[in-house]
Chain A
Amino acid sequence: GAGVSQSPSNKVTEKGKDVELRCDPISGHTALYWYRQSLGQGLEFLIYFQGNSAPDKSGLPSDRFSAERTGGSVSTLTIQRTQQEDSAVYLCASRIGGTDNEQFFGPGTRLTVL
């Protein structure tokens, strides 16, 4: 079946512009995560959605970052007024929920802020 998909695969933007990154999780997965992966670094947790519960936003680095998940499926990560330090690969993952821990990752969106 289809895995987690993300779009666009690459995004180049100018400093100060807003960007939207999209994630389509695996159908039926109730949990969805966003991570940031900077060059040579591990995965930095950004935000977590679980069903209809309030999202865990504890990893968002600033108020320029926001995310929403509509209808319990597709999610959009928005970065406003992008800065050069926002350049990274943004990864989305989904999990079926309950006691199953495995997170399935998408291929990521590589964001470059000029």
Chain B
Amino acid sequence: GENVEQHPSTLSVQEGDSAVIKCTYSDSASNYFPWYKQELGKGPQLIIDIRSNVGEKKDQRIAVTLNKTAKHFSLHITETQPEDSAVYFCAASRNDYKLSFGAGTTVTVRA
């Protein structure tokens, strides 16, 4: 099955700086890569996703890049704000319906 590894497990950044989270996947047939944000006491929420036919996707301060050859993808958050503090999960899927999640990254934005 698919194995998704996520790094780092924790990330502390100064407000206004950028944050980068990296994930690798094992199944070369995976073609869908979403990122979820989980705030304390809540369920995860989709923030951005990318398909394997696209190398980069951007939505305001967040962007995701995908390198199919190396089987890794990354989340970039620019101009971080306190409300960006949360746990972020990457995931990969080969069939659209079943996601394999990384272990999560706890992001703390220092004021």
Contacts and interface: CB of A to CB of B under 8 A. Distances in A.
B96 A105 contact: no
Contacts of A45: 98-100
**How big is chain A's contact interface, by range?**
20 to 34
A50 interface: yes
Contacts, number: 51
Contact of A107 (B41, B96, B98, B100): B41
B66 to A, nearest CB: 15
A51 to B, nearest CB: 11
A60 to B, nearest CB: 14
Interface of B: 4, 6, 32, 34, 36, 41-46, 49, 89, 91, 93, 96-104
Interface in A11-66: 31, 40-45, 48, 50, 56
A6 to B, nearest CB: 8
A77 interface: no
A113 interface: no
A33 to B, nearest CB: 8
Given A101-B32, A105-B43, A50 B97 contact: yes
B45 A42 contact: no
A4 B42 CA distance: 11
A67 to B, nearest CB: 15
A58 to B, nearest CB: 8
Contacts of B91: 43
Contact of B97 (A44, A48, A107): A48
A102 to B, nearest CB: 5
A95 B98 CA distance: 11
Nearest to A44: B101
Interface in A94-113: 95, 99, 101-103, 105-108
A108 B46 contact: no
A43 B101 contact: yes
A41 B106 CA distance: 11
A93 interface: yes
